Amino acid sequence: MKHSLNESTELLYLKGIEGSYIRETEVSIIGYENGGYILDRTMMHYQGGGQPGDKGFILSGEERIRIYNVVKKGRKVIHLSMDKVDLKKGKLTVNWERRYKIMKMHTLQHGLSSYFFNEGGMTVESEVFPGYGYVVLDKEIKRIPEEAYEISRKALPLKRYDLSRGDLDPDTLKRCNLEKLPKSINTISIVEIQGLDICACAGTHLLNTKEIGDYWIRNTGKKIEFGLF
Ligand SMILES: [Zn+2]
């Protein structure tokens, strides 16, 4: 199949929750622009939505392209690299250890934001890194509910599915900033933590909250930090 530079890259991590667990894939290299490679498909998450860009490699025989970040510019997903190598195809691999920590933190953020919302604090900003993250609430909450420390122990499964904009239930999704979704997007990717949280999200998530493991939470007012031990 021939790709033009105007076509967008297929985002494999959006294919169900399982898509977040794809660690490597064969790719075609479409071009190099703005300091990085454009691929026909990728499992690497680009920087945005409160989640950092992934790191990894494109490998082919002796050749190795090191990717230090992934960003989106317009419709194009750019795999930033200092290595200029003339390759047409290769195997894309993500730095999994780092990425898995980000998935833990991002999934934890969903759960925490839901509990904080029930306490009267709406998440207006959030950002996660490998092993650390924070949310900023619109107002301080009186207490961190006990259940917020139990997200991992509860072992809640996650699922991802698409809804058309008309089928969105504003009540179910009220803890998410749906106004932030671009009007041009008609099919919305929903991520649900069973019995805890439903949110529109294009990030990467765990299959089950038990994978988060042990974590800490620190409340410093409107800003609440959390991280892995
Ligand atoms: Zn998410």
Q: What distance in angstroms lies between residue 192's CA and the mean position of ligand 1's atoms?
A: 9
157 in a structural domain = yes
* Tens digit of each residue's pLDDT (9 = 90 or more) over 60-80: 999 999 999 999 999 899 999
Domain final position from 78, 94, 110: 94
* Tens digit of each residue's pLDDT (9 = 90 or more) over 200-227: 999 999 999 999 999 999 999 999 999 9
Beta-carbon contacts of 154 under 8 Å, excluding residues fewer than 6 positions away, are 196, 209, 210
- Judge if 69 and 124 occupy the same domain: no
- Exposed, middle or buried by CB within 10 Å (0-12, 13-18, 19+), for 93? middle
- Residue 137 φ/ψ, nearest 5 degrees: -100, 155
- Judge if 87 and 186 occupy the same domain: no
Please state, in angstroms and rounded to a whole number, the distance separating the CA atoms of residues 154 and 112: 13
Q: Closest Cα partner for 118 from 57, 16, 195?
A: 195
Q: What distance in angstroms lies between residue 46's CA and the mean position of ligand 1's atoms?
A: 13
Please state, in angstroms and rounded to a whole number, the distance separating the CA atoms of residues 52 and 190: 20
- Exposed, middle or buried by CB within 10 Å (0-12, 13-18, 19+), for 193? buried
Q: What distance in angstroms lies between residue 155's CA and the mean position of ligand 1's atoms?
A: 17
Q: What distance in angstroms lies between residue 198's CA and the mean position of ligand 1's atoms?
A: 10
- Judge if 58 and 126 occupy the same domain: no
The structure's pTM equals: 0.94
- CATH number at 213 reads 3.30.980.10
Q: What distance in angstroms lies between residue 59's CA and the mean position of ligand 1's atoms?
A: 29
74 in a structural domain = yes
Q: Closest Cα partner for 81 from 63, 113, 56?
A: 56
* Tens digit of each residue's pLDDT (9 = 90 or more) over 12-68: 999 999 999 999 999 999 999 999 999 999 999 999 989 999 999 999 999 999 999
Q: Residue 74: give the domain boundaries.
A: 10-94
Average pLDDT, the chain: 93
Beta-carbon contacts of 5 under 8 Å, excluding residues fewer than 6 positions away, are 30, 31, 33, 38, 76
Q: What is the pLDDT of residue 5?
A: 46
Q: What distance in angstroms lies between residue 190's CA and the mean position of ligand 1's atoms?
A: 9
Q: What distance in angstroms lies between residue 108's CA and the mean position of ligand 1's atoms?
A: 9
- pLDDT for 2 beyond 90: no
**Domains contained in the chain, number:** 2
Q: Closest Cα partner for 197 from 124, 106, 85?
A: 106
